[in-house]
């Protein structure tokens, strides 16, 4: 394996065999920091924590319980409007959606409902009823959740299956841009963040499914499923 520009090293025995985002073989060792080993994928440009070092479920839950977001927190609502704003101008009236990874305070769902849309909720910790995952939607939102996915290829496949033709998968996650600063990056330091995406990663995921991908703002990706037979 070639050494990368930031000093990546050959994979050790037992190293990840595939990228968890696109399932490409032989990801490259990137760096080790704070007792964690990180890898990068040459195909989709994702960076990720060694899956053997993922936090246990109880550790994840304890960390999520430290969050103090609230539905009526105006600062939090402004933050979520980075995604809600671009999505709302693309939705038809009375659209039906799913907020995946809504957390204990589904403020994004509140914003979308206030705009006249219907929103179902799912979260593996705080709204674990799987019934919403059995239905199809005009849009699916995923805000500050994708970085927590332990099996992102499978989770994104599930979410994309739930989007109707012509519908949207709206993702908010802090895009990774600079490997040289990765070790000190605040986003990496969150113990529940295990995969990191670049714009190119989301564009790759969209392209592999024949979808389009728009980046209307920093850290926002809107993936659109094509209409059936190319009709609008």
**Looking at residues 89-107, what average pLDDT do you find?**
96
Tokens standing for residue 13: 């025995």
* Cα–Cα distance measured from residue 160 to residue 156, given in angstroms and rounded to the nearest whole number: 6
- Packing angle between helix 107-114 and helix 74-88, nearest 10 degrees? 50
Which domains does the chain show, CATH number per domain? 54-230 (3.40.50.150)
Instruction: State yes or no: pLDDT of 1 exceeds 90.
Output: no
* Cα Rg of the chain, angstroms: 18
Tens-place pLDDT, residues 70-88? 888 888 899 999 999 999 9
List alpha helices for 115-189, DSSP H. 152-161, 186-189
pLDDT of residue 229: 57
Supply φ then ψ for residue 173, to 5 degrees: -155, 150
Region 162-176: mean pLDDT is 98
What does pLDDT average to over the chain? 92
Mean pLDDT value of segment 192-212: 98
* Cα gap 179→201, rounded to integer Å: 15
Question: pLDDT tens across 24-42, in order?
Answer: 999 999 999 999 999 999 9
Instruction: Strand 118-122: give its sheet, edge to edge.
Output: 118-122, 96-100, 137-143, 163-172, 220-224, 212-217
Residues 6+ away with beta carbon under 8 Å from 162: 98, 133, 135, 136, 137, 140
Q: Quick one: pLDDT at residue 71?
A: 85
């Amino acid at each position: 394996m070639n050494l990368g520009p930031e000093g990546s090293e050959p994979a050790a025995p037992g190293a990840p065999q595939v990228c968890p985002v696109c399932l490409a073989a032989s990801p490259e060792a990137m760096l080790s920091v704070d007792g964690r080993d990180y890898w990068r994928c040459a195909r989709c440009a994702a960076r990720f924590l060694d899956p053997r070092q993922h936090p246990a479920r109880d550790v994840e839950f304890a960390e999520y319980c430290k969050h103090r977001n609230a539905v009526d927190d105006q600062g939090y609502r402004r933050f979520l409007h980075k995604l809600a704003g671009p999505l709302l101008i693309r939705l038809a009236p009375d659209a039906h959606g799913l907020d995946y990874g809504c957390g204990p305070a589904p403020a994004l769902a509140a914003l979308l409902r206030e705009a006249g849309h219907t929103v179902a909720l799912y979260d593996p910790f705080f709204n674990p009823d799987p019934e919403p995952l059995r239905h199809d939607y005009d849009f699916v939102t995923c805000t500050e959740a994708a970085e927590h996915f332990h099996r992102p290829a499978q989770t994104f496949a599930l979410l994309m299956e739930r989007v109707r033709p012509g519908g949207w998968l709206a993702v908010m996650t802090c895009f990774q841009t600079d490997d040289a600063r990765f070790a000190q990056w605040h986003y990496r330091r969150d113990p529940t963040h295990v995969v990191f995406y670049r714009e190119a990663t989301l564009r790759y995921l969209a392209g592999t499914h024949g979808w389009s991908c728009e980046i209307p703002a920093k850290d926002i990706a809107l993936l659109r499923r094509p209409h059936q037979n190319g009709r609008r």
